Every structure is written in structure tokens, then in C-alpha cells.
Amino acid sequence: MSEHVREPRLPAPRGPLSAAVVAYLRGAGPLPRPVDAEDADPYGDDLHLALYVCYELHYRGFAEAGPQFEWDPELLRVRGALEQRFLSALRADTPVHDSLDDALGALLVEPAEGTGVTHFLRDEGELWHLREYAAQRSLYHLKEADPHAWVLPRLSGRAKAAMAAVEFDEFGGGRAERVHARLFADLMEDLRLDTTYGHYLDAAGAQMLAVVNLMSLFGLHRELRGALVGHFAEVEITSSPGSRRLAEAMRRTGAGPAAEFFYDEHVEADAVHEQIVRHEVIGGLLEQEPELAPDVAFGIDATEYLEGRLARRLLTDWRAGRSSLRTPLPQEMTHTS
């Protein structure tokens, strides 16, 4: 991954909403009407690609879209309608725990016989499964921790200090070569994947787009700061055991040293982060704003809900012997150390 990251190209549309948004950014047509979002599938390709494109303007942007589009009033109005359709569906569909303690407690329990994606990859995954998994996850990991940084101005005191400490680790502790996005690019190189930022956007499915969009949705809205903290807690608490399984999968398949290192690093780092997030970030936030406890629980549970949808898609495809990507990867090269 180049130290100077160029803007990615706009993706191919997946329906009328995303087609209109992409055309507008190219100066080639009008935006969809906000009312058009009301009948869209809230978890579908068209809505989530349109929303992803809107959000990406707040990160690296696109080569064909000038920087003025980031705060384009008409585009923000459309984005708001897309967000409302997505968030309303999440609030209706997410199984929510009765309390924050229950939500956190559920995350701390590792099932004796796990059947999730990381269990599959550890026990029976082949190199092509790992390559697809990395390609999908690259939509987040090549900008790892960026969506969570939006919450820092919304916090204060213990919560802010603790969140900043965790983010400092995510961004390499002051060392460019240790930035987690850089480490993931190294992993992708081991797996013979293209490390260009946004390269696999066209290939990733709606379930992966929804997971990344959730982070941006929570991060970019101050009123959802509690949900963002809950989301971050879910990520950090579940990361360490999942990363251990993924590191074992990388070793078993001979993926390469950088591929192993990325997940080995997360086993250790996220075990520490989990304690900081639970006791200092969540504890500090609720010490000042106890009324946000239901929002924190919603952030945890909505993340689990969307990750569950993604897991079902991946495992259904892989167990059927087919690619989970919209565009399958070229056949991998034989790895040599």
C-alpha cells in the first residue's frame, strides 16, 4: 500500500439509487429523490452502495468527484434518507438485550462448539477462502480505526482519554510501519491481493458494505455516540479470540508471515483494548451520561446482527463451493516464502 493513497475510482452502480448518486458525482445526472429510499431494501446492494459512496466522501473521496461534494447540501439530504431507511430497519430487526450488562456479558461467552466464520477458516478453510475474507474485510481494514475516530470529539474525561489511547495503538503508536491499515496491506500482499485502497468495493457484497456503513453511520452522528461506543466494544471484545483462530488459519494454509502477524498482533493488542473499552470508555461515558446505556447496548447488538448476516452469506457460499464475492478473485499464485 503506497504511503500516498490516491482516491479510488467510483464503483459500478447496483441499482437506481446508486446509479443516480454515481452519475451526480460525475456531473452526469440528477440525484435520486429522498423519497426513493423509502421502498429500497434496507440491507440490499443498491442502498448500501449508494450510502457507502456518500460516506466515502468523508474519508478519501473519489478520483472523479471534487472535494466540494463532501458537504453538498442536496447530496446530504439524500444521504439522510438512505440513513433513515437503514437505521429504522436496524432498530426494528435487531434483537436487543434487556440491559447493557446482558449485552456485554453475551460477548464475553465463547461457545464451546463455535460454528462461525473464524472457526470455519481455522478448521477447514482453504487459501482461497482466506483471500476472499481479506478482500471483503479490506473495505474496513485499509482504513482501520478511521470511522471510530469520529467519536473522539463527542467524548470527554475518562472516556475520551481511554478511547484516544486505544486509537493511538490502532494508528501504530506513532510508528508508520505499525499502523494497522499498513499491517493489513502487508497481509494482503502475502495473499497476493491488490492493496489499492477501495480496490475490492465492486466485488464486496451488500452484507460487507452494511458492516462498514454502520461504523460511519454511528461515527458521523453525535446523537449516536453511545451506539458507536457499543459497536467499538463489540469489535474489541470479540477480536482477540477471533484473531487467534485467524492466525491459526493463516499458519495452517501457509499464507505468509505478514498474514500471520496481523492477527497475532490483534490477539495481544485487543485483549488489552477490551479491558480499556469496557471499564474506561464505556464506564467513563456512562459515568457522565448514564442515559446512553440503551444506545451502547444497541450498538453492540446491531453490530452482532449485521456481522451475523455477513457470516451467513460467507458460509453459505463457501460450503456450496462458490465464491462469496460479486466478482471472484483470479486464481491465487502458489505462495513461496
**Which 3-state string (H, E, C) describes 60-72?**
CCCCCCCHHHHHC
Contact between 96 and 298 (Cβ < 8 Å): yes
Contact between 50 and 18 (Cβ < 8 Å): yes
Query: What local confidence, expressed as pLDDT, does residue 110 receive?
Result: 77
198's CB contacts (< 8 A; 6+ apart) are 8, 9, 56, 60, 139, 142
Sign of the torsion angle spanned by Cα atoms 125, 126, 132, 137: positive
Query: What local confidence, expressed as pLDDT, does residue 280 receive?
Result: 96
Q: Residue 1 is which amino acid?
A: M
CA triple 326-327-330, angle to 5 deg: 150
How do the pLDDT tens digits run along the chain, 337 residues long? 544 457 899 999 999 999 999 999 999 999 999 999 999 999 999 999 999 999 999 999 999 999 999 999 999 999 999 999 999 999 999 999 999 999 999 998 877 678 899 999 999 999 999 999 999 999 999 999 999 999 999 999 999 999 999 999 999 999 999 999 999 999 999 999 999 999 999 999 999 999 999 999 999 999 999 999 999 999 998 888 999 999 999 999 999 999 999 999 888 776 788 889 999 999 999 999 999 999 999 999 999 999 999 999 999 999 999 999 999 998 754 443 3
Contact between 97 and 297 (Cβ < 8 Å): yes
Beta-carbon count within 10 A of 320 CB? 9
3-state DSSP percent of the chain in helix, strand and coil, to 5:
70, 0, 30
163's CB contacts (< 8 A; 6+ apart) are 148, 151, 152, 155, 229, 232, 277, 281
DSSP secondary structure of 147-167: HHHTTGGG--HHHHHHHHHHH
DSSP 282: I
Instruction: Name the packing angle between helices 293-319 and 206-219 (round to 10°).
Output: 160
